[in-house]
Amino acid sequence: MHDVARARAGRTTSWSAAGLLCDMDGTLVDSAAVIDEAWTEVAVRHDLPRSEVLAALPGRTARDILALFLSDAAMIAEEVARVERRQLVAAGVREIPGARRLLSALHPDRWAVVTAAPESVARARLDAAGLPAPGVLVAAGSVTHGKPSPEGFLLAAERLGLPGGRCVVLEDSAVGVTAGHAAGARVVGVGPGAHEADARVPDLRSFTDIDVTGEVIRWSLAEI
């Protein structure tokens, strides 16, 4: 399937897959400043410890994050809507280096975005970063269970017409790595936080020699 030639850290390995399933924030786009501002405002509004709120963010939907701190369902629903409106302001969102080159090299039916963000926020951020619009986008409203559940990755793979085991997941968070493995995929961790991934890279410039032949994507990966 993936033909992963693992090597010592810092070496280049050869990968292949039928499809790529990509997390968005921290993986394809750098939206950290926008996210921190929005959730700091939530913490201040409800007198919550900012550090704990920010630590709960990676990979989780707004509803799942808020449920960790608030018990009133109506208040949670109000905050979910408020956070979504706040995060539609995508000024300052940039691509993770190498993201545009990687996605532009792929056929639209070979990759998907799987994100905990609402669809409207996801599309605003991808557009602000100058990235191609995905043919398959699985956002917060598409699933019942967010990461670490594999539901989002399995749904994206299904919409691409693939089993999860024929895909490679790109993720920056621990819960996302868990979800990718549970979907049967190998996982490339992007950045410093995805320690349990099958391989880790600093950013997407580590994907080189990208070749799409028929139904197979092949590439070289400069691992950390």
Indicate whether 21 and 107 sit together in one domain.
Answer: yes
Write out the two tokens for 137: 């986008």
Write out the two tokens for 76: 């949670």
**For residue 203, how many other CB atoms are within 10 A of its CB?**
16
Indicate whether 44 and 143 sit together in one domain.
Answer: no
Under a CB-based contact definition with an 8 Å cutoff, are residues 179 and 27 in contact? no
Rg of the chain in Å (alpha carbons): 17
- Give 169's strand partners: 21, 187
pLDDT of residue 193: 86
Query: Quick check: is 30 catalytic?
Result: no
Indicate whether 21 and 105 sit together in one domain.
Answer: yes
Of these residues, 25, 30, 172, 198, which one is catalytic?
25
Indicate whether 25 and 135 sit together in one domain.
Answer: yes
CATH at residue 163: 3.40.50.1000
Q: Is residue 3 part of a domain?
A: no
Indicate whether 47 and 109 sit together in one domain.
Answer: no
Indicate whether 162 and 214 sit together in one domain.
Answer: yes
Indicate whether 78 and 123 sit together in one domain.
Answer: no
Indicate whether 164 and 54 sit together in one domain.
Answer: no
pLDDT of residue 91: 82
Query: Quick check: is 23 catalytic?
Result: yes
Instruction: Determine what percent of the chain is predicted with pLDDT higher than 70.
Output: 96
Instruction: Determine what percent of the chain is predicted with pLDDT higher than 90.
Output: 84
Give 103's pLDDT tier (boundaries 50, 70, 90).
very high
How far apart are the C-alpha atoms of 125 and 90, rounded to whole Å?
6
Give residue for tokens 């704990």: 52
For all residues of the chain together, what is the average pLDDT? Answer: 93
Under a CB-based contact definition with an 8 Å cutoff, are residues 167 and 144 in contact? no
Indicate whether 98 and 139 sit together in one domain.
Answer: yes
Indicate whether 55 and 150 sit together in one domain.
Answer: no
Q: Alpha carbon 107 to chain centroid distance?
A: 19
Tell me the residue range of the domain where 37 lies: 32-87
pLDDT of residue 20: 98
Q: What are phi and psi of 2, to 5 degrees?
A: -85, -20
Q: pLDDT tens digit string along 156-208?
A: 999 999 999 999 999 999 999 999 999 999 999 999 989 899 999 999 999 99
Of these residues, 3, 23, 203, 209, which one is catalytic?
23
Q: pLDDT tens digit string along 37-54?
A: 999 999 999 999 999 999
Q: Is it the case that residue 3 has pLDDT exceeding 70? A: no
Indicate whether 104 and 70 sit together in one domain.
Answer: no
Domains in the chain, number: 2
Q: Is it the case that residue 78 has pLDDT exceeding 80? A: yes
Instruction: Give 207: exposed, middle or buried? Use CB within 10 Å, 0-12, 13-18, 19+.
Output: buried
Q: Is it the case that residue 1 has pLDDT exceeding 80? A: no
Q: Is it the case that residue 86 has pLDDT exceeding 90? A: no
Provide the 3-class DSSP secondary structure of residue 18: coil
Q: Is residue 144 part of a domain?
A: yes
